[in-house]
Amino acid sequence: MHRKIGIWTASSIVIANMIGTGIFTSVGFQLSAVQNTWSIIFLWLAGGILALFGAFAYAELGTHFKDTGGDFIYLSRIFHPMLGFLTAWAGLTVGFSAPVALAAIAFTKYLQPFGVNQSSLLAIALILLVTIMHSFTIRHSSRFQNISTFIKIAFLITLIALGLMLDSNTGNALDYSGSWKNEIFGSGFAVSMVFVSYAFTGWNAAAYITGEIQSPAKNLPRALLVSTIIVSFLYILFNWVLLQHATVDALSGKEEASYISFRNLLGNEGGKWVSFFIAIQLIATISSYLWVGPRVTMAMAKEHALWRPLSKTNQHGIPVRALWLHAGISIILSLTGSFEKVLLYAGFVLQLMTSLTVAASLYIRNKNEDAFVTPWKPLPQIIFLVFNAWVLIYTLIDKPVESISGLVILLVGIVLYRFGK
C-alpha cells in the first residue's frame, strides 16, 4: 500500500496552489479597470466567498467518490465521459500547466532587482528542478511541499505586518468615495474578477488527490474549507497594504505591483529582498501544481486508451510519465505568450470547467453516510454558478481573443476525444 498524506500536507497543497503569482500581480491589472478601494476589497471578498462555496461543492463530491482525479472523475461519472476528458485535457494544457509557467516566468522577473536578467533558461531550470523533486516518493514530495509552503505563509504574514505597521509617505491608491457603486456593475469589474478567480485557483486542489489523503471523509473538507478561509483573509489584507503604499499611476497595469509598493515602504534595498522572497515562495506554487496536475492526467489516462501510457506509475505510485509531460507543456508555455494573455485564457477555461463541476454536485442524490453535505444546498452552488456566468460573459465580450483561445483548446480536446474513441 502506498503512503498517504495527512491534513497538514493536504492543506499545504491547497494553500500553495492558491497563493502564487495571482496575489502578487493582480492588483496592478485590476487598477486599470477599477480604482475605488471598496471595489478592490469587494473583488477579493467576493472571490473568497465564491471559493468557499466552490469548496463546499468539491468537498461533497470528493467525499462521495473518494477517487483521485478531481473534475475528471466527477464530470465523467455524473454527466458524460467526454466532459470528464475535456476537464482533464484543459488541466493538462492550461489548468495546471499554465500556472506553473506563469510562476516560473514571475520567478525570473522578481529576481531582476538582483541583476538577474529575465531568462527563459532560468524558468525552465526551476520547472525541471521541482519536477525532479516530485519524481520519487510521496515522502519526498510531502517534505518539499510542506517546507516550501511554510516559507510562503510566513513571508506573506510578514509583508502584511510590515505594511500595517510602517508608513511609506509616497502617496497611496486609497479611494473610499462612492464611485464603487458605479464600478461594481461595469465590465471592468467583471473582467477584474478573472484575475481574482485566478488568484484563488487551487481552493479545490486537495480534491484532485483524494485517494492519497488519510481519512478523506474527515480531512478533505477540513483541508479545503479552512485553507480557503485563511487565504481569503490574507488576500484582503495584502491588497489593502499594496494600495496603502503606492499610487494608482504607479501600480496601474504593472505586473510587479508588490515590488513597487514595498520598495516605497522599505526602500530600494528592502524592496529588492521582498522581490527575492516573492520569487522564492513561488517554488511552492510550482510544486503544488506539479503534484496535483499529473494525478488528474493519470486518472484520465486509465480510462482512455489513447492516453494509457500516461497512467503508468513508479513503484511508489508516482505518475512519472504524466508528471514530466506536464513539466514539458509548462516549459513550452513559459516560452510563448505574454503573462497577462496566458493568465486570461487559462483563467477563462478554468472558470468554465470549475462551473461545470460545481453544477455536477447538484446531481448527487445517494450520499455515502460519511460524505460531506453542502450547507444550505443548493443556494451556495446557485450563487457560485450565477456569478461565474456573469464573469464569463463579460470576459468573452471584453477579452474575445483570449476567451476564444481558451474555447479553441476545448474544441481540440473534443477532436482528440472522438479520435481516441
| Amino acid occupying residue 160 | I
Q: Rounded distance, CA 72 to CA 86, Å? A: 8
Predicted confidence at residue 367, as pLDDT, reads 65
The pLDDT of residue 401: 85
Peptide bond preceding 378 in cis form (omega within 30 of 0): yes
- Cell numbers representing residue 5 in the block: 498524506
Tell me the C-alpha distance between 29 and 191, whole Å: 10
Residue 1 resides in a domain: no
Which region among 32-36, 86-90, 124-128, 183-187 has the lowest average model confidence (pLDDT)?
Answer: 183-187
Q: What is the residue-wise DSSP string for 77-103? A: HHT-HHHHHHHHHHIIIIITHHHHHHH
Q: Mind listing the pLDDT tens digit for each residue in 81-109?
A: 999 999 999 989 888 888 898 889 889 88
CB atoms within 10 A of CB 368: 12
Structure confidence at residue 1 (pLDDT):
54
65 lies in some domain = yes
At 9, is the pLDDT very low, low, confident or very high (cuts 50, 70, 90)?
A: very high
Q: What is the pTM of this model?
A: 0.90
- Tell me the per-residue pLDDT of 111-123, one tens digit each, with 9 for 90 and over: 888 888 767 889 9
Flag whether 215 is in a domain: yes
Asked if residue 2 belongs to a domain, the reply is no
Q: At 171, which amino acid appears? A: G
Residue 132, pLDDT score:
97
Given this model, what pLDDT does residue 102 score?
83
Structure confidence at residue 21 as a pLDDT band (50, 70, 90) = confident
Q: What is the CATH number of the domain that holds 382?
A: 1.20.1740.10
Can you give the residue range of the structural domain that contains 303? 7-420
| pLDDT score recorded for residue 105 | 86
**Res. 247: pLDDT tops 90:** yes
Q: Could you report the per-residue pLDDT of 279-304, keeping only the tens digit for each?
A: 999 999 999 999 999 999 999 999 99
The whole-number pLDDT of residue 383 equals 96
Whether 50 maps to a domain, the answer reads yes
Q: Considering only the C-alpha atoms of the chain, give the largest distance between any 2 of them, rounded to a whole number of Å.
A: 64
End-to-end CA distance of the chain: 33
C-alpha cell at 50: 465564491
CA distance 214 to 59: 15
Residue whose C-alpha is closest to residue 166's, from 178, 158, 154, 176? 158
Rounded to whole angstroms, the Cα distance separating 73 from 335 reads 31
User: Cβ distance 339 to 105 under 8 Å?
Assistant: yes
Distance of alpha carbon 49 from alpha carbon 33, whole angstroms: 22
Backbone phi, then psi, for 348, in 5-degree steps? -65, -50
CA distances from 215 to 7, 14, 220, 227, 331 (A): 9, 17, 8, 17, 35
**What integer pLDDT is reported at residue 360 of this predicted model?**
95
Mean pLDDT of 390-398: 84
The residue-averaged pLDDT of 168-175 equals 87
What digits encode the pLDDT tens for the residues 312-347?
999 998 999 999 999 999 999 888 756 666 666 777
Residue 403 included in any domain:
yes
Q: Is 86 inside any structural domain?
A: yes
Average pLDDT, the chain: 90
Q: How many domains does the chain have?
A: 1
Q: Which of 156-160, 225-229, 282-286, 416-420 has the lowest mean pLDDT?
A: 416-420
Read off the pLDDT of each residue in 193-204 and give the average, rounded to a whole number: 86
Q: Report the alpha-carbon distance of residue 29 to residue 31 in Å, rounded.
A: 6
| 196 part of a folded domain | yes
